[in-house]
Amino acid sequence: MKRIELSIVALSHSMTQSHNYAVVLGERKGQRRLPIVIGSFEAQAIAVAMERMVPNRPLTHDLFKNTLDTFNIQLREVVINNLLDGIFYSRLICVKNGEMFEIDSRTSDAIAMAVRFECPIYTYDFILEAAGIVLDDQEEEAPATISAPEPAPAESNQLDTLSADLLHQRLQEVIAKEDYEMAARIRDELKKREKN
């Protein structure tokens, strides 16, 4: 079976399932995209790693990475190896002392680990044929984007009225509470002000 390397193209709200997100993986050398519906906690775990946020306490995926690091186990790659009844199956390919072994994983968790270990993500051609979509030639290649839930109007207006110092203080508070969605909104507000 032909293996195909993927990269994260986007992470956003799922258009088909409310309260869920979709991570979109794209062929590194091709036009096909593989959308995978994931839960909000898994989306948060992926977004935190992609944005290089450092929580005060380790998230579950950070804990697992720290455990593997402690025992000198390397995550070599992630393979999305099957698709049955609309459910994706994945394996973590690990190496310890030159010996390779595989660990069964939910695909969303496998992607969250791949981002933390900066290791490649692969799938097989039959999975892309079954569940992939083809990007039109006219559509431009977009960099990986992370879309947090839209803030309520009151929250958005409130952020607009705070000073930069208060925003930085609020950012530290929400990170301490592990509210990464609000942290992303505050970060976006600060970036918007830096551009102006």
Indicate whether 93 and 158 sit together in one domain: no
Place of tokens 């010996």: 99
Indicate whether 140 and 162 sit together in one domain: no
Find the CATH number of the domain harbouring 112: 3.10.690.10
Indicate whether 53 and 112 sit together in one domain: yes
pLDDT digits (tens, 9 = 90+) for 16-72: 566 788 899 999 988 999 999 998 889 989 999 998 888 888 889 999 999 999 999
Write b or e for each residue in 71-80: b if 16 or more Cβ atoms lie within 10 A of its Cβ, otherwise e.
Answer: eebebebbbb
Range in 5-14, 51-60, 143-152 the model is least confident about: 143-152
Q: pLDDT at residue 146 above 90?
A: no
First-to-final CA distance of the chain: 51
Indicate whether 59 and 25 sit together in one domain: yes
pLDDT digits (tens, 9 = 90+) for 168-193: 778 777 776 766 677 777 877 888 88
Nearest to 20 by CA among 54, 43, 49, 48: 43
Contact residues for 187 (Cβ-Cβ < 8 A; gap 6+): 51, 171
Rounded to an integer, what distance in angstroms lies between the CA atom of residue 89 and that of residue 36?
11
Under a CB-based contact definition with an 8 Å cutoff, are residues 32 and 132 in contact? yes
Indicate whether 116 and 180 sit together in one domain: no
| Burial of 18 from C-beta contacts in 10 A (0-12 / 13-18 / 19+) | exposed
Q: In terms of residue numbers, what domain contains 184? A: 153-195
Indicate whether 131 and 184 sit together in one domain: no
Q: pLDDT at residue 143 above 90?
A: no
